[in-house]
Amino acid sequence: MVILLNENYHVCTGCALLCDDIEVVIDGSRIIEVKTACRKGVARMKGCSKPMSPTVDGQEIDINSAIATAADILRNARTPLVFGLGNSTDMAQKKAIELAKRLGAVIDDTSSFCQGPILEAIFNEKIRSTTLEDVRNKADVIVYWGADPSNSHPRHLSKFSYFPRGLERQRGWEEDRTMVTIDIRKSHTAKISGDKFYQIPLQGDAEFIDALIDALSGKVPKVSFDYDTKRILELANILKKARFGIIFVGLGLVYSIGNIDPVVKLMDKLNKISDFYLIPMVGHYNMRGFNQNLFNETGYLNRVRFEKGDSNNVRHGVEFSIVESLNNKTIDAALIIGSDPLSSLPRVVVEHLLNIPVITIDPCETFTSGNIKSKSKLGTNLTIPSALSGVECGGSAIRMDGVEVVFEPIIETDYPTDEEILTRIIEAL
Ligand code: SF4
């Protein structure tokens, strides 16, 4: 399924929901008003609060010199890391994969420490997934597990899951849908679930899943923590009766269980007695696109190393994740595109970035580019500004449910797109 843009509307690239019903008011080359989007989307579409400029070691340079310097750094590196791309278009991601092949680089993204295992299970058809349109039209039981879309994807409930009328759910949330939230704290989303909120202790997800599977099998559920067994039986009953059930998996669940086998087991059990699907609550607007593009090219969705001079020789493993590559100091330069690893990984993990050349390509100054600029001890630090995708450049992206969304630029910019910068780096190598 591909969603092509209606010419009156724009696509918001503020999160992986890729809302395609956005209206804007433009004054000259600026967006001055954004309609329909949530607060997060408005902030994204109005542009960066601190735009990036081309710099080397904190000194301003012109963009052509910045691109030439990037090519020099990457050419001279023994094992560079190409990382990020969750906020880049499909075309830029494909260029980055081509660049990694040319360089014999390690390539990885944030899915390596978040939704990667869930997406891998979906790509390998171990878990059934569906589209958000099907959820809107058919879902009668909606489960948010370790997810708080009211903050992470603010229009999720109103556009697709709980609140809208659907073809087979004409009576909407009042009568036709049940929404369950399972989480360790009473989030904003949990409050909307009312008495269908199931609070579990920190790291209690795997045990809770086991107990739920027991309850679904007609056994008495048991957990080692203090919990009212009747509530687990009540939840099992809701899930059993679903005609079209959907579980939205958030990072709370993924981080808690580590290994996703319990989720696969639960989905198998649910699909023996009911009809259930799963969609991961992907954050960055095109993280799933990166995983899909790399998977199509190599058979792996992240943590890949291409052999220099033999790009068909592809290796995959935990040692090629950004975390292990930095911990083991196996990379000697980093190209970070549309990502901010310093704000999502512990400082002790990313410390090595201060000792190697780092190139950041981004429309906005990030915590990573700002910090490396001021604290880099040994490496050259290079920043290259790019056009803001969805606003200043068009392209396509893969929504959290795997649907492709095509979008056009809304305003013009002097900055090149990620794809153009990567193309020029490849040409300069
Ligand atoms: S929910 Fe996400 S895609 Fe939709 S308007 Fe908000 S930030 Fe943009």
- pLDDT of 375 reads 59
Provide the whole-model pTM.
0.94
Percent of the chain whose predicted confidence (pLDDT) is above 70: 97
Say whether pLDDT at 363 is over 80.
yes
18 CA closest ligand 1 atom index: 3
pLDDT in tens, 291-327: 999 999 999 999 999 998 887 889 999 999 999 999 9
Q: Residue 116's pLDDT band (boundaries 50, 70, 90)? A: very high
Q: Give the lowest-confidence range in 205-219, 228-242, 244-258, 333-347.
A: 333-347
d(CA 145, CA 254): 9
On average, the pLDDT of the chain sits at 93
For the cut 80, the answer to whether the pLDDT of residue 379 exceeds it is no
pLDDT for res 364: 92
CB atoms within 10 A of CB 256: 20
**Cα gap 143→181, rounded to integer Å:** 6
Q: Is the dihedral of CA 364, 367, 368, 371 positive or negative?
A: positive
CA 243 to centroid of ligand 1, rounded, Å: 28
Task: Report d(CA 318, CA 160) in Å as an integer.
Answer: 35
Same domain for 240 and 302, yes or no, is: no
Q: Indicate the range of 25-29, 68-72, 173-177, 200-204 predicted with least confidence.
A: 25-29
Q: What is the pLDDT of residue 370?
A: 80
Give 269 or 172, the one with higher predicted confidence: 269
Does residue 149 sit in the same domain as residue 81? no
Which ligand 1 atom sits nearest the alpha carbon of residue 37?
5
Burial (CB count within 10 angstroms: exposed 0-12, middle 13-18, buried 19+), residue 97: buried
R_g over Cα of the chain: 22
- Asked whether the beta carbons of 98 and 295 are under 8 A apart, the reply is no
CATH of residue 274: 3.40.228.10
Which tens digits make up the pLDDT trace of 33-75?
999 999 999 999 998 888 889 999 889 999 999 999 999 999 9
Q: How many domains would you assign to the chain?
A: 2
- 360: CA distance to ligand 1 center in Å? 25
pLDDT at 378 over 80: no
| Same-domain check for residues 174 and 290 | no
Query: Using a 6 Å CB cutoff, which residues line ligand 1?
Result: 12, 14-15, 17-19, 37-38, 40-41, 153-155
Pairwise CA distance, residues 398 & 405, whole Å: 6
* pLDDT digit string, tens, across residues 413-427: 999 999 999 999 999
Same domain, 121 and 215: yes
Domain end, chosen from 280, 298, 323, is at 280
Q: Which atom of ligand 1 is nearest to the CA of 154?
A: 1
Q: Whose CA is nearest to atom 2 of ligand 1?
A: 15
CB atoms within 10 A of CB 75: 14
Are 268 and 341 in the same domain? no
* Percentage above 90 pLDDT, the chain: 83
Query: Quick one: pLDDT at residue 61?
Result: 94
**Ligand 1, from 5, 19, 401: best to mutate by most atoms within 8 Å of Cβ?**
19
Domain that holds residue 392: 2-113+286-428
* Closest ligand 1 atom, residue 285 Cα: 3
Closest by CA position to 169, among listed 134, 129, 197 = 134
pLDDT at 246 over 60: yes
Instruction: Please check whether residues 44 and 180 belong to one and the same domain.
Output: no
* Tens digits of residue pLDDT in 399-413: 999 999 999 999 989
**195 exposure class (CB count in 10 Å sphere: 0-12, 13-18, 19+):** exposed
The span from the CA of 394 to the CA of 182, in Å, is 37
Q: Which of 3, 12, 248, 286 to mutate to test the pocket of ligand 1 (most atoms within 8 A of CB)?
A: 12
| 3-class state of residue 308 by DSSP | coil
Q: Is residue 247 predicted with pLDDT exceeding 80? A: yes
Q: 124 and 102: one domain? A: no
Within 10 Å of residue 85's Cβ, how many Cβ atoms? 33
Report the number of secondary-structure helices (H) and strands (E) in the chain. 19, 19
As a whole number, mean pLDDT of residues 332-351 equals 88
Tokens of 182: 């399972």
> What is the pLDDT at residue 28?
79
Query: So what's the pLDDT on residue 100?
Result: 97
Last residue of a domain, one of 255, 280, 305: 280
Reported confidence tier of residue 377, pLDDT bands at 50, 70, 90:
low
Q: What is the C-alpha to C-alpha distance for residues 408 and 4, in angstroms, rounded to an integer?
A: 10
83 and 120 co-located in one domain: no
pLDDT higher than threshold 90 for residue 357: yes
- Please report the pLDDT score of residue 19 as a whole number: 97
Which helix (H) or strand (E) element contains residue 272? helix 261-273
Rounded to whole angstroms, the maximal C-alpha distance in the chain is 68
Work out whether strand 2-3 and strand 404-407 pair parallel, antiparallel, or are unpaired: parallel
Choose the final residue of a domain: 251, 280, 309.
280
Q: Cα(148)–Cα(146) distance, rounded to whole angstroms?
A: 7
Contact 108, 303 (CB under 8 A): yes
Same-domain check for residues 19 and 100 = yes
* pLDDT computed for residue 6 by the predictor: 59
Q: What does the angle CA 225 – CA 226 – CA 229 come to, to the nearest 5 degrees? A: 105
Same-domain status, 143 and 241: yes
124 and 263: one domain?
yes
96 and 180 co-located in one domain: no
Q: How far apart are the first and last CA of the chain?
A: 37
47-to-55, 126, 363, 392, 401 alpha-carbon distances in Å: 20, 39, 9, 9, 26
Half-sphere exposure of 255 (CA within 13 A, CB side): 10
